Amino acid sequence: RLQVDAIVNAANSQLLGCFVPLHACIDNAIHSAAGIQLRCACHDLMRMQGHNEPTGRARITPGFNLPARYVLHTVGPIIPDGRPTPEQVAQLASCYRACLD
């Protein structure tokens, strides 16, 4: 296990993790490994924010039980056909920039 400063989570707009049991997504893996504290921290962030997280931004939480100090949660664009529009390309670039800021 690597000890790192931060990892990036491809989050949904509620930031509360994947609610599909045994779903093989990174969001589910991170929330499962971090423990319930991560879901509670994300819930508190969303309650204070008062709305879903928009695509292209990033939020930071502690890593809790992960071997990472922090989790950067970012909501990427949904690209169902695998062909991103120019707007979706810009949103994805914004995800990367937000995580590096």
We report the CATH number of the domain holding residue 70 as 3.40.220.10
Calculate the CA dihedral of residues 2, 18, 43, 75 and round it to 10 degrees.
80
Q: How far is CA 35 from CA 3, 15, 16, 18, in A?
A: 17, 14, 12, 13
User: Residue 20: which residues within 8 A CB-CB, separation 6 or more?
Assistant: 28
Do the beta carbons of residue 1 and residue 63 sit within 8 Å?
no
> Residues 50-89: pLDDT tens digits?
999 999 999 999 999 999 999 999 999 999 999 999 999 9
Q: Is the pLDDT of residue 1 over 90?
A: no
In Å, how far from its chain's centre is CA 73? 3
The total number of structural domains that make up the chain: 1
Which residue segment(s) compose the domain that 81 sits in?
A: 4-100
Q: Is the pLDDT of residue 92 over 80?
A: yes
Nearest to 62 by CA among 41, 45, 35: 41
